[in-house]
Structure 1
Amino acid sequence: MHTLEQLRSGALAGTRRLDLACGLTELPHEIFDLADTLEVLNLSGNRLRDLPHQLGRLHKLQVLFASDNDFSAVPEVLGECPALQMVGFKANRIADVPAAALPPALRWLTLTDNAIGHLPSELGQRPALQKLMLAGNRLQALPESLQNAQRLELLRVSANRMERVPGWLTELPRLAWLALAGNAMGWVCPAGPELPGMAWSDLSHGPLLGEGASGHIYQVQASAWPQPLALKLFKGEVTSDGLPEDELAACLAAGQHPALTTPVARLTGHPGQAQGLLMPLIPAAHVNLAGPPSLQSCTRDVYPPGFQLSAALALRIASDVAGAVAHLHQRGVMHGDLYAHNILIDPVHGQAQLGDFGAATRLPTDQPELCQSLLALEVRALGCLLQELGTAVQAPAAHPAVQALQALARDCLSAQPSLRPCAIEVAQALQSLRSGRDATGWVGPGL
């Protein structure tokens, strides 16, 4: 984090990123001295209500964060920033999104946790739009113009007031990550099994293991459970993916599967009435398959430099995850965040587990055609993962395992969602590959 003193003294001359959180009520004019270099401006955590009319002078500005401020409207001056691609105004008081506020190069827009009831039709006229995060608003509908957003890949509209899924939504050729839970759809959704309760007072609390958008994860020991457990304690507030109660309901509906991180008990008796789930503790040797998307990659995960897998390992991971996704789809659950960064793997044996149900949606059991069309979107996310795994295989491009993964990926990535295989077909194909023989007669690793 930078300081006003650094900015005003000239110590930040030539910087490409500026982070200021110091109770600002107006933008310091010294920021414009950075116009020839500044690309990322983070103003989150201030008390700003507007931005100056000369903001367009920051002609190299690509990213603007202004979350946790006091904006009631997205400033129209953003539309005058020629290079601006990413705009983030989470957790303000925004009710108005003027058409003029949408930069021409807009690629990633985050307006989570505001009071927006309407979006301008011009949003569908931003050809680079790839990521749109709108959870926790008051939207009753999406602009019809978004059917022109042919590059849109990730959409979060959880916890709004939408009454139906527009027909064009499931026809978008690149949409792969969708969150819809917490809307007034009137859906009949699958119920999860009753989980036993586990009292807060019966837990011995260990270290914090991690933090996600919706909660903190701790290691705990329960008096009635032989092994240590992981406790996910929900924060109880809207996140970029949606509401904690929807995540909890999706976890319960998901049921048990060896490649899913699903709960074994529900927390009771928390002194602050917080909700929580207890899950098996993932062995410490497991690692995340990749890191989350970056500002540059937008919707695709970031793998370590030189990341490689053996053919056997790639097939094991792909098969485990596809099996987990097929299980979810059969139970009427769309994961919504099927990414490598939500997959933990045993780096030696390749066993994979899919977690993080924060963006999950329970689908209506009485509308099979709608379910099928929505799940076809998630098959594209599975195709992205298979494509990444195939690229990472430490073998020539002509290797049968590489060719098989890439062929399956191409099927899953079809621009026509109705032509994609279902998840169970993908899982069966991968299981056949692992068991030793594909359609070409290749004898595989037999894992």
Structure 2
Amino acid sequence: MHDFETLKSGGYRGAGLAQLKLACPLGAFPERILELGETLEQLDLSGTGLWSLPAGLGAALPNLKIALFSDCRFKVFPRALAACPNLETVAFGNNGMEEIPEDSLPPRLGRLILTGNRISSLPASMAQCQNLALLRLSDNRLPALPAWLFALPSLAFLSFAGNPCAAPPPTKPPPMLATIPWTALTLSDDTSDTTAPGLWQQSADYAEDVAIQLFRGAATSDRAPRDELAARLAAGAHESLVGVLGRIDGHPDEHNDDDDDDDDETRRFHGGLVLQPVPAEYVALGRPPRDNSRGGAPLELAVEVEVEAACVLSMLTGIAGAAAHLHARGIAHGDLSAHNVLASTADAHALVGGFGAATVYGRGAYAMAVERIEVLAFAHLVGDMLGLVAERGGEGGGVLAGLGDLHARCAAPAVDARPAFDEVVEELEGMMGWRGMMRIPDVPAPN
């Protein structure tokens, strides 16, 4: 965080700042920022209430790569950003934005966050954004997604929950899902919308270790909490998904989301889930993105040990199986990347979590294209995990060659040329020697 008074007095001029973050209310764009153009690469003015940018922004800040303006008051996407030659990441979450003019997007745009606005259409000029890897459109007013969106060759991380074009969220929990009274739960840390350990007292004599996730607050850069809850409930069970044991009933903060007496979205309670606890030996494969707006860029892996190719193959098979399971239910994970994968190298097993960018899209017109967009995200994950493999010869070399070929197919620039996740799973199982072993043979029907 930087000091506004120091900025106004010219104290940062010549300081070689690569990043600048202000949090104070701003009535206008501080002109002193334009004096930092030789070195400034990241500008974060989120939460300042800013509503316009100077026309000369691009010329003054030619090295700007990341521009974050979430929780401001931009009603129209500013054309000034189109003149920023190196701008890759742009965030305008929760602005009340209504319009994106044609030719207002920067030429090298790779990540665009527009969650929580009032946008009803996307400009046709966005089809020229060939580097766009991440697009967050959740909680807007889009009646449909344009066909050209599904032809963008780099798009791997897409979310559009909470729009008319997405499937409506289920009104009732799955019939087999347990309803767990809040009074039967003990939470070790009363977090706002994260997952914390706890106990489920199932009887006077038995309590089970669980994880408890509460969904509170307004939309984040990825989603509205109610959309994440809906996706998690619709996901069902799979051996490579963190399991849901039940939905919480009777939490003290429960109320109707349409209750006019509480208009503070930062405190609104949307529901809670009881999850299976993840064993301690499972660790995240990657570290969370530092600017919370990453997509398609190489990820900093958290796992530092080298692993066998067979272990990586086993984990990727489970991850692809979980993705196939989700898409069979019309759900896109939206952020299928290493920081949302918990892995145990000892068990050669991985769990997919992190449903914050998930979209329940149904099985309508978008189904095939949405799935193949996420197949590209899986290709990035394959590339990340191949970097963990130690051996390069023998059986491990054969696995690496096979995964390399699969990576190339999943990363095909033509979206419709990529395989579906069922095909990916079949190929991975074949590499593991499972082909035919996991399937019941066809039985001729009786005459």
TM > 0.5 fold call: yes
Is residue 2:198 matched to residue 1:220? yes
Distance 1:386 1:199 in 2: 41
Distance 2:50 2:91 in 1: 14
How many angstroms does 1:146 deviate by? 4.1
CA gap of 1:410–1:357, structure 2 versus 1, over 3 A, is: same
How many angstroms does 1:100 deviate by? 4.8
Structure 2: runs of 5+ lacking an equivalent: 255-268, 437-447
Residue 287 of structure 1 corresponds to 283
| Residue from 55, 59, 64 that aligns with 2:57 | 55
**SS at 2:207's partner residue?**
coil
Structure 1: runs of 5+ lacking an equivalent: 163-179, 439-447
How many angstroms does 1:111 deviate by? 1.6
Residue 231 of structure 1 corresponds to 212
Q: Is the 8 A contact 1:199 1:269 kept in 2?
A: yes
| Residue from 199, 206, 215 that aligns with 2:188 | 206
Alpha-carbon RMSD across the aligned residues, in angstroms, is: 3.2
Distance 1:47 1:254 in 2: 37
Describe how 1:47-446 pairs up with structure 2 within 5 A. Answer: 47-56=49-58, 57-143=60-146, 146=149, 149-162=152-165, 180-182=166-168, 192-207=174-189, 215-224=193-202, 226-273=207-254, 274=269, 275-293=271-289, 298-300=295-297, 301-304=299-302, 308-362=306-360, 364=362, 371-396=367-392, 399-434=397-432
**SS at 2:71's partner residue?**
coil
> 1:177-224 CA distances to partner (integer Å, 9 max, x unpaired)?
xxx4559xxxx999834322112222212036x88xxx2212111211
Residue 27 of structure 2 corresponds to 25
How many angstroms does 1:101 deviate by? 3.1
Distance 1:96 1:156 in 2: 19
Residue 2 of structure 1 corresponds to 2
How many angstroms does 1:279 deviate by? 0.3
How many angstroms does 1:20 deviate by? 0.7
Q: Which deviates the most, 414-423 or 19-28? A: 414-423
CA gap of 1:429–1:203, structure 2 versus 1, over 3 A, is: same
> 1:100-156 CA distances to partner (integer Å, 9 max, x unpaired)?
532233222222111122332222233433322221111223455546633333322
CA gap of 1:182–1:109, structure 2 versus 1, over 3 A, is: farther
Q: Which deviates the most, 221-230 or 236-245? A: 236-245
CA gap of 1:106–1:313, structure 2 versus 1, over 3 A, is: same
Identical counterparts, % of pairs: 35
> 1:65-97 CA distances to partner (integer Å, 9 max, x unpaired)?
111112222222222333322221111121122
Q: Is the 8 A contact 1:190 1:362 kept in 2?
A: no
TM-score by length of 2: 0.81
Distance 2:382 2:171 in 1: 29
| Amino acid in structure 2 at the alignment position of 1:10 | G
CA gap of 1:396–1:128, structure 2 versus 1, over 3 A, is: same
Q: Is the 8 A contact 1:190 1:363 kept in 2?
A: no
CA gap of 1:276–1:159, structure 2 versus 1, over 3 A, is: same
Q: Which deviates the most, 21-30 or 319-328? A: 319-328
Q: Which deviates the most, 369-378 or 56-65? A: 369-378
Distance 1:437 1:119 in 2: 44
How many angstroms does 1:325 deviate by? 2.6
Distance 2:300 2:414 in 1: 26
How many angstroms does 1:231 deviate by? 0.8
TM-score by length of 1: 0.81
**SS at 1:99's partner residue?**
coil
| Amino acid in structure 2 at the alignment position of 1:28 | P
Distance 1:330 1:120 in 2: 31
Q: Which deviates the most, 378-387 or 253-262? A: 378-387
How many angstroms does 1:268 deviate by? 0.7
Question: How many pairs are equivalent?
Answer: 411
How many angstroms does 1:54 deviate by? 3.2
How many angstroms does 1:376 deviate by? 3.6
Distance 2:374 2:38 in 1: 41
Distance 2:186 2:41 in 1: 47
Q: Is the 8 A contact 2:142 2:163 kept in 1?
A: yes
Q: Is the 8 A contact 2:45 2:69 kept in 1?
A: yes
Distance 1:68 1:141 in 2: 25
Q: Is the 8 A contact 2:332 2:359 kept in 1?
A: yes
**SS at 2:158's partner residue?**
strand
Describe how 1:29-44 pairs up with structure 2 within 5 A. Answer: 29-44=31-46
Q: Which deviates the most, 288-297 or 87-96? A: 288-297
How many angstroms does 1:432 deviate by? 4.4
Q: Which deviates the most, 27-36 or 271-280? A: 27-36
How many angstroms does 1:2 deviate by? 0.8
**SS at 2:244's partner residue?**
coil
CA gap of 1:341–1:199, structure 2 versus 1, over 3 A, is: same
CA gap of 1:59–1:397, structure 2 versus 1, over 3 A, is: farther
Q: Which deviates the most, 140-149 or 96-105? A: 140-149
> 1:296-351 CA distances to partner (integer Å, 9 max, x unpaired)?
96324332496632223212211222232333344444333322211111243332
How many angstroms does 1:28 deviate by? 2.4
Residue 441 of structure 1 corresponds to none
Distance 1:329 1:82 in 2: 37
